[in-house]
Structure 1
Amino acid sequence: MFERVPLNDNWLYIENFCEVMKEEEYDESRMSSVRLPHTNIELPFHYFDEGVYQFVSCYRRKIYGERSYLGKHVFITFEGVAHIAKIYMHGKLIGEHKGGYTAFTIDISPYLHLGEYNTLVVEVDSRESNNIPPFGHVIDYMTYGGIYREVFLEVKESIYIDDVFIQTKEVRNETKKLQVEVTVKQSLDKAGEAPWNQHNLEGSSVKLLLQREGCKDGMHELGNYTLKGETTTIELRVSDVELWEIERPVLYILYVELEIDNERVDGKWIRFGFRESEFRKDGFYLNGEKIKLLGLNRHQSYPYVGYAMPRRAQQTDADILKRELGVNAVRTSHYPQSQHFINRCDELGLLVFTEIPGWQHIGDSQWKEAAIQNTREMILQYRNHPSIVLWGVRINESQDDDEFYNKTNRIAHELDPSRQTGGVRFLKNSNLLEDVYTYNDFSHNGCTEGLEPKKSVTSNMGASYLVSEFNGHMFPTKPFDSEEHRLNHAKRHAAVLNSLYQYNDIAGGFGWCMFDYNTHKDFGSGDRICYHGVLTMFRNHKLAASVYGSQLGSSPVCEISSSMDIGEHPACNLSNVMAFTNSDSIKLYKNDEFVKEFYPDTKKYSSLPHPPIVIDDFVGELIERKEGYCHSSAETIKKVLFAIRDNGQNHLPLHLKIKMALVMLKEKLSFQEGLQLYYKYIGNWGGEAISYRFDAIQNGVSVKSIVKKPVSKPAFKVITDTNTLSEEGTYDVASIRILAVDENGEKLPYFQEVVELITTGPIEIIGPKKISLKGGSFGTYVKTIGKVGEASLSLCSESLDKVTIDFTII
């Protein structure tokens, strides 16, 4: 019967590989004990050379050959090894895989010595000089090294289910069409015959059972179906099932049981959803409903450990995309990513555009063959995920190569007729061999329109059109940049999203990118970081994150662009402040006195579901109410004061000079009194600091209040994705985001003091134990060490009160 065993513990590792390491007898005392996922070297946060992870390393592990394995297949699967893996057993090369972004499986049963321990050796080549994608030229992201995803062992009978592919069709009908393709394989004996002869195989059957995930009613049997050879396609109709949709992603489990001569031989389960997706010339449709795709690009990297993170951290990224940033789609740039991440997208209703590895460069024929193999592996390994709606079968931002891309498109359509293909390009009017014209539009420079219209990019107006990247390198933004810079970053994203919604024939767009990432020396800000994200590397929010969160999110979102400190503004004059919010309006209070109510800027952002709100009047009717002037005089005084702020006292327009002179005569207002009004209501230079309150109003009720006033006591704010850790096949990780905030919970963007991290109990810190906040935020990770119990992480700083986070490891 089927057995699956995780193989993530008890590995030995050494950074350098030599031929003797693959032998059975080797001095393993020179090696260190590691658990998978594992990075070949732990890295600094920034300012490191990418050459430090480019070497050949060695992993060793003992595998016991159970006597019950006799006559069975024993498969070992590596989910991801960066970037060339050679597998040895008893010193003999038994398998090799080129490419770090897809899984591979090796049948080790012919090499196992039963009844004893067998030495498995993995030689890992993490150098970037290999003639495989994405290598061959410069790359704008680091590629890291090691066995960075999980490994597992599968034990199967000599005849077994090799693959199951599920397609759902006609899902809007009362009865849905389910097409199941089952591939069965069998081994041959020494005489070249199968344990069950071919005639019996064809006459044997598979039983299909269906269960809604999480349903306690049990499985519903769909029937027994006779095998038609190695691959059998079964078509049937099912009723009383619900659709997989972005707001209600209902998932089902299909159990496939293989029976030979009335004996159950193997079983396999597949999670899927009933849904149909289609890119049309006027946009994207899910289950027949048009949906505007709003997404971000994601790399799979993390500080310190590069690609090597287990399940929970991968899931957390999907949670942040859907629940914090409010997007409905993600592009896995520029390679297939963890099954854990895609599984979570399935669960959340987060649509996925995934693509083959590569970045601009196309190599020789050998290189292309590797890319074609990447295409085949990507589709076979990911095609049952309902969240995936588009295959990327071009090398990101590469030139046209019709012969090459005809092959990748053909393979995609042959292996998965249910999904369309796209290919990310930076070329206008390039050859369209795919189903969807996907294009990186970096035309917006802060002044131009957000996006170019479809007709300016492709003459093929009958094709579907998708914007795969925008912004990013056009305006890199650090969390410690000036307030004005951070606001301009957010405004650029708002401008592009406004265009995205304006054009009905653009299916959607993916901002570049979800978070900052380490990059090669040829890119970034000199410290080996590209600051292109709407989040930091530790997934802390920049201001631009609220542009996304305010568009599709249902919970109240409101972020004010300014700290309201006068020194953040030229000449210490507050001008325009923006609220990125999904509320109906913003009520402004100044020292708890109502100033004015502001509404979304539907003129400039006419197409956004929730336009930002411009707050440009910090006086309101205060002059009238507090100074006793009549309404007309107060309004004239306010206009003049604003004009002095914007143009200077000596450059007032003539008509305002005349109006002000009349008001001064009417109200007997002296020049000195007018100057005092300016400093009191506009400049506030030399005056006492003001407290501002912004109330987000929804349906007439305040749903969120933000208070901006000078900080009196900074404090830590800690966000962790879990306080309960549990090992399921390997170590577990908690992601901790650390912010410095004032007493009202507002981030302090220039706080950068040192923080010491102290743990107790069965956890370890990933990365350094002393950190410094950058732009008022940073983060860390803690991982389990194979023991249960209570644990804690304490944050200690000279100027902030100690904070302790408790964990339970079960």
Structure 2
Amino acid sequence: MQHDPSQLPVGVTPTDRRKFCLNADWRFVLGGEQDGAALSKPGVDVANWEPVSIPHGLKLTSLELDGCTDGKTQPTFLREVGWYRREFTVDTTGGSRVFLEFEGVHQVTTVWVNGTEVGLHDLGGYTPFHFDVTDYIDRDGTNVVVVKADNTQRPDVPPDPGPFDYIKFAGLYRDVYLVQTHDVHVGFAWDKKLAGVSVTTPTVKKDSATVSVRTTLTNAGDAPAEATLLTRIVDADGIVVARFEESATVLGQGDHTFFQTGAITENLRKWSCDDPYLYRVHTLVSVDGKAVDTCETPLGVRTIELREGVGCLINGEPTMLIGVNRHQHFAYVGDAMPNSLHVQDAIQLKARGFNIIRLAHYPHDDAFLQACDELGMLVYEEGPSWIQLEDQPWRDKLELVTRRAIRNHRNHPCVAFWGAGINHRGTIEQLHTACKEEDPTRLTGSNHAPWTGLQSAGVADFFTTMDYHNDPEPDELTFANEHMSTWTGEPNQELISRYRASANRFAMAAWTAHAYYTFHDPPIESRARTRGGMMDIFRMPFPVMDWCQSELTTEPMIALGEHWLPGLTKLRVFSNAAEVELRVNGKLIARRTPDRDELFANLVSPPFTFPVVYEDGEIEAKAFDAEGNEVASVSARTPGQPAAIRLVADDEGRTLVADGSDFVTCFAEVVDSHGQRVYDADGLVTFDVQGPGEVMGDESIDANPMAPWQGVAACLLRSGSEPGTITLTATADGLTSAQITLDTVAWQPDELLAHAKPIYDHPVVKVDLGGPGQHIQPEGWQGWTDDTEQGPSSYDLGDGVTAIVEAISATGTAKLHWRGEANTTGPLGFVAEDGVSPIGASDAGLRFTLAGLKPGRYQLGTLHHAPAHNSDVMDIADREEGDSMGAPAEVLHLTDPDGGVAAVIQTQGGRVPRQGAGRGVTTFDVTAADAVSTFELRAVEPGQSLWLNGFMLRQLPG
């Protein structure tokens, strides 16, 4: 593996850091006693081992979990050991320190490299870990790693010994990386309390935010090192908006923690569920002037507050949190979901309008949290347990796993709350205090059930309850982190209505988003060994999801709550419209407004219920807005005899990556001659693949061929290791077959190249203009002080760039008037209180010229505030200067080099208003090194005065 730094985006500095994904090209064998040291020596023949890609779960299992009859302690299912072996090389141009990083392995992991055991991880399968293998690798040759993934029962490793209401799957099921660094580097965040990068925003105001960055550097060498840490806050366009730089000595075999604090003061964008704006915190480490290490951390500027009697406020705005619980299970593969499926889960849940996800009942994959950051969904995360509280050693291990989860995910703005209890059992003070010690910026929940434990928050910040039995009105802030849900949605509707009417019930999460695997007895309508679910284990939605979308989103939609089948007497329609019209075989049945059931009194979009007399044929429902305009429609028919297959891929918003482990779910619907799904279709559907891919599973687990369920047979289509076009065909006896094609894209295992984004670190030049005695604005402003009246005044901006200002007039002689200190208060008051103005002619204006700029695109921002009068004394004195300048102009025109005109509202008086001085903003291009860019400022009304108090100049991307 070799990193090509020339492929890095603009502004990204090459360093010694390398990070390669090792998910491909493993060999695997299930079970047996193996000699890990011997297997990890180069040259060992494992050709008879199965070739696999990561994520991998020991084996594919049927939807019935292979007929296993385990109880909730899962004594036998997948309680096996998997052995994984891979060869690798290191980048000879990369750093000298070499690590193997694992995002998650079930559940006790031993690793060998080149014949030596390098580490044991026994904290379970839900948090990351790493091993330093520097002393065991051959930098110039082939290396071998062997991983023992031991999923046998371990009473000391949570969530064992159980019971638990979910399946603990097995294998090397999350991503694996090879990491190289310099001796001096940013360490792994989960390693200890002070490690990696931690970003907080201790103060967030309407238009500014204070950002604190704690960065710990580790020196693995013996000699002390002089290190410089450059931390830059980069906005979504790649522009650096703040930078901090500090140097320190990092002792040999030691650490040094930097504490850097600054502010975002210009054009602040906050993160919210509706506008999930993300900054990046870019870290660059240099030793003796050479860049040696780098990393990036997400930053979402937001506040989350819980207030009794009000609820949850995000950035000061009251926000009802409505969401779901999520397990990471998927059909056949269990936990072994590729990143793309985690992302797709987040996309689907966001599309339905949910704004909070409880991660049940363990830390989830990094990819899911990253997607929640980007989409705007909050997360409640907890340690791996369920209902049993074991002895102190077990509790200590649960605490340590919880701490590692917090360290790993603390920088994600989506994370709102940490779970500080055991499911059903309530608050565990040990967990609460650990959460607060690791992350005092977030609130903790208690994890209660009404039938067990203390019924209050205890030491936690808020009360969590499992509201399955119509809990009484709480007297403290409460989150129903579980509540009843059904396919049709009535419990969801009732509870959301009840919670919307309560000041202290600020959040709820339905049980569950997707059907999940469990050895609990599943309900009758569930499929195989899965339980719950507003979507099935393949992510096929049930009607409740349509109602949630109608309640939680505003884009016009309409959906049917029931199938049009014989015996139906009541049909519900879900829509966020004002009215719905229903027709049967073209005949109008009714046009209705939403139901007004008392139980649904506080809903935004209750269902529309139509009594119907069933008849064969077609129904159609149309939605109308408040003005009577049709905004959406939906139709269905009485199913006929099965005639054909309709094949679709569930790949919206994603691509299929050719890494050998990515997959997409494809649905083969059995339809009649009209294209209507036949819900009771039987028989088998067979899937066939041509091209670089395969269907996962075969007849041994009833995956291919597959029997339809609710008229649909699903398959998992996995990519190969080479990009290309995959053709999937679905066939069944007596039905017309269907075919689709999907193109896969090349995989990029170099994580730095895969995720690096441009950085435009062009300094912002900020200049405060004024006469003698002016106060120059602090925090990076330069002072342009002058008292020249006749002729132009020039100022050296540095780097060969000169700014020139002069008075202009078409009718007379104009001159410059420079104003000094005048005690104006308000935002950027020192800039606003003084400046330069043209006087001497009724049409006097200013010409502003920039010379010496390098070719590129620039933005010029000008600041304008007219004083209360024209004296160079304090505004509290009532004296005017003899040379009258006329009344201050309210509106100015800023003319750019291309002749474009921007209107600027000039503020005035002894105080700058809260929104700041008037601003003119224009962008312009410099096409040649000797080009001169000229701007003009004039008052719209002749005879009025204008001021130029300051300006900001920055180069833009592109």
Same fold (TM over 0.5): yes
Equivalent of 1:694, from 611, 621, 626? Answer: 621
What is aligned with 2:539? 539
Shift of the 246–375 alpha-carbon distance from structure 1 to 2, 3 Å rule, reads same
Give the deviation of 1:66 after TM superposition: 5.5
Shift of the 521–597 alpha-carbon distance from structure 1 to 2, 3 Å rule, reads closer
Equivalent of 1:12, from 24, 27, 43? Answer: 27
Query: Counterpart of 2:358 in 1: which secondary structure?
Result: strand
Structure 1 Cα separation of the partners of residues 625 and 669 of structure 2: 28
Cα contact 2:90–2:140 (8 A) shared by 1: yes
Matched, 1:787 2:761: no
Cα contact 2:514–2:532 (8 A) shared by 1: yes
Cα contact 1:259–1:265 (8 A) shared by 2: yes
What is aligned with 1:594? 588
Matched, 1:256 2:283: yes
| Larger helix proportion of the pair | 1
Letter in 2 for 1:211: V
Equivalent of 1:234, from 234, 245, 260? Answer: 260
Equivalent of 1:302, from 330, 334, 357? Answer: 330
Equivalent of 1:468, from 464, 475, 481? Answer: 481
Shift of the 745–367 alpha-carbon distance from structure 1 to 2, 3 Å rule, reads farther
Structure 1 Cα separation of the partners of residues 653 and 555 of structure 2: 23
What is aligned with 1:85? 109
Query: Counterpart of 2:441 in 1: which secondary structure?
Result: coil
Structure 2 Cα separation of the partners of residues 47 and 62 of structure 1: 33
Structure 2 Cα separation of the partners of residues 521 and 92 of structure 1: 42
Structure 1 Cα separation of the partners of residues 247 and 659 of structure 2: 36
Matched, 1:493 2:495: no
Matched, 1:733 2:761: no
Give the deviation of 1:119 after TM superposition: 2.3
Structure 1 Cα separation of the partners of residues 249 and 478 of structure 2: 41
* C-alpha distance after superposition, 1:15-40 (max 9, x if no partner): 01424243145442331111111111
Matches within 5 A, 1:381-460: 381-398=408-425, 405-426=428-449, 427=452, 429-430=455-456, 432-443=458-469, 451-455=470-474
Shift of the 87–36 alpha-carbon distance from structure 1 to 2, 3 Å rule, reads same
Shift of the 345–380 alpha-carbon distance from structure 1 to 2, 3 Å rule, reads same
Shift of the 4–734 alpha-carbon distance from structure 1 to 2, 3 Å rule, reads same
Give the deviation of 1:248 after TM superposition: 1.3
Shift of the 690–80 alpha-carbon distance from structure 1 to 2, 3 Å rule, reads same
Give the deviation of 1:467 after TM superposition: 0.4
Query: Counterpart of 2:393 in 1: which secondary structure?
Result: helix
Cα contact 1:69–1:155 (8 A) shared by 2: yes
Shift of the 523–693 alpha-carbon distance from structure 1 to 2, 3 Å rule, reads closer
Letter in 2 for 1:268: C
Matches within 5 A, 1:638-677: none
Equivalent of 1:151, from 176, 197, 206? Answer: 176
Query: Counterpart of 2:328 in 1: which secondary structure?
Result: coil
Structure 2 Cα separation of the partners of residues 745 and 212 of structure 1: 48
Structure 1 Cα separation of the partners of residues 724 and 417 of structure 2: 44
Cα contact 1:752–1:775 (8 A) shared by 2: no
* C-alpha distance after superposition, 1:491-517 (max 9, x if no partner): 222222221222232011000001112
What is aligned with 1:105? 130
Shift of the 722–794 alpha-carbon distance from structure 1 to 2, 3 Å rule, reads farther
Structure 1 Cα separation of the partners of residues 657 and 686 of structure 2: 27
What is aligned with 1:621? none
Shift of the 67–264 alpha-carbon distance from structure 1 to 2, 3 Å rule, reads closer
Shift of the 723–420 alpha-carbon distance from structure 1 to 2, 3 Å rule, reads closer
Letter in 2 for 1:362: L
Give the deviation of 1:185 after TM superposition: 0.7
Structure 2 Cα separation of the partners of residues 740 and 558 of structure 1: 23
* C-alpha distance after superposition, 1:457-508 (max 9, x if no partner): xxxx3x4210000115xx6xxxxxxxxxx5xx42222222221222232011
Query: Counterpart of 2:495 in 1: which secondary structure?
Result: helix
Cα contact 1:315–1:340 (8 A) shared by 2: yes
* C-alpha distance after superposition, 1:285-319 (max 9, x if no partner): 11111110110111001111111121211111001
The two structures have a TM-score, normalised by structure 1, of 0.81
Return the structure number with greater relative CO, CA threshold 8 A, min gap 6: 1
* C-alpha distance after superposition, 1:674-728 (max 9, x if no partner): xxxxxxxx5x7xxx73543221222312222233432346552524215974548
* C-alpha distance after superposition, 1:184-220 (max 9, x if no partner): 111143xxxx342xxx4xxx4311222223x2x5434
Matches within 5 A, 1:122-521: 122-162=147-187, 163-189=196-222, 194-196=223-225, 200=226, 204-213=227-236, 215=237, 218-220=239-241, 222-227=243-248, 230-239=256-265, 240-281=267-308, 282-323=310-351, 325-398=352-425, 405-426=428-449, 427=452, 429-430=455-456, 432-443=458-469, 451-455=470-474, 461=475, 463-471=476-484, 489-520=488-519
Cα contact 2:448–2:455 (8 A) shared by 1: no
Cα contact 2:356–2:377 (8 A) shared by 1: yes
Structure 2 Cα separation of the partners of residues 283 and 188 of structure 1: 51
Cα contact 2:658–2:722 (8 A) shared by 1: no
Equivalent of 2:89, from 35, 41, 64? Answer: 64
Structure 1 Cα separation of the partners of residues 313 and 674 of structure 2: 43
Query: Counterpart of 1:146 in 2: which secondary structure?
Result: coil
Shift of the 367–528 alpha-carbon distance from structure 1 to 2, 3 Å rule, reads farther
Q: Which runs of 5 or more residues in structure 2 are unaligned?
A: 1-15, 71-75, 188-195, 251-255, 698-702, 746-958
Structure 2 Cα separation of the partners of residues 761 and 752 of structure 1: 29
Matched, 1:39 2:63: no
Query: Counterpart of 1:170 in 2: which secondary structure?
Result: strand
Same amino acid, percent of matched pairs: 24
Structure 2 Cα separation of the partners of residues 302 and 562 of structure 1: 26
Query: Counterpart of 2:421 in 1: which secondary structure?
Result: coil
Cα contact 2:325–2:357 (8 A) shared by 1: yes
Select between 61-70 and 769-778 the one with higher mean Cα deviation: 61-70
What number of residue pairs does the alignment pair up?
691
Cα contact 1:211–1:220 (8 A) shared by 2: yes
Give the deviation of 1:69 after TM superposition: 6.3
Cα contact 1:126–1:145 (8 A) shared by 2: yes
Shift of the 321–431 alpha-carbon distance from structure 1 to 2, 3 Å rule, reads closer
Give the deviation of 1:519 after TM superposition: 1.1
Structure 1 Cα separation of the partners of residues 737 and 400 of structure 2: 53
Structure 2 Cα separation of the partners of residues 139 and 252 of structure 1: 39
Larger Rg: 2
Letter in 1 for 2:210: K
Structure 2 Cα separation of the partners of residues 692 and 19 of structure 1: 63
Cα contact 1:453–1:503 (8 A) shared by 2: no
Structure 2 Cα separation of the partners of residues 280 and 723 of structure 1: 37
Give the deviation of 1:283 after TM superposition: 1.5
What is aligned with 2:554? 554
Give the deviation of 1:555 after TM superposition: 2.5
Structure 1 Cα separation of the partners of residues 247 and 197 of structure 2: 15
Structure 2 Cα separation of the partners of residues 301 and 409 of structure 1: 28
Q: Which runs of 5 or more residues in structure 1 are unaligned?
A: 444-450, 456-460, 476-485, 619-681
* C-alpha distance after superposition, 1:737-761 (max 9, x if no partner): 4434567765443234321111110
Structure 1 Cα separation of the partners of residues 562 and 178 of structure 2: 54
Structure 2 Cα separation of the partners of residues 262 and 379 of structure 1: 34
* C-alpha distance after superposition, 1:597-643 (max 9, x if no partner): 11111343110111111213x5xxxxxxxxxxxxxxxxxxxxxxxxx
| Larger strand proportion of the pair | 2
Give the deviation of 1:134 after TM superposition: 0.7
What is aligned with 2:898? none
RMSD over aligned CA atoms reads 2.4
Cα contact 1:46–1:518 (8 A) shared by 2: no
What is aligned with 1:773? 708
Shift of the 237–521 alpha-carbon distance from structure 1 to 2, 3 Å rule, reads closer
Query: Counterpart of 2:152 in 1: which secondary structure?
Result: coil
What is aligned with 2:790? none
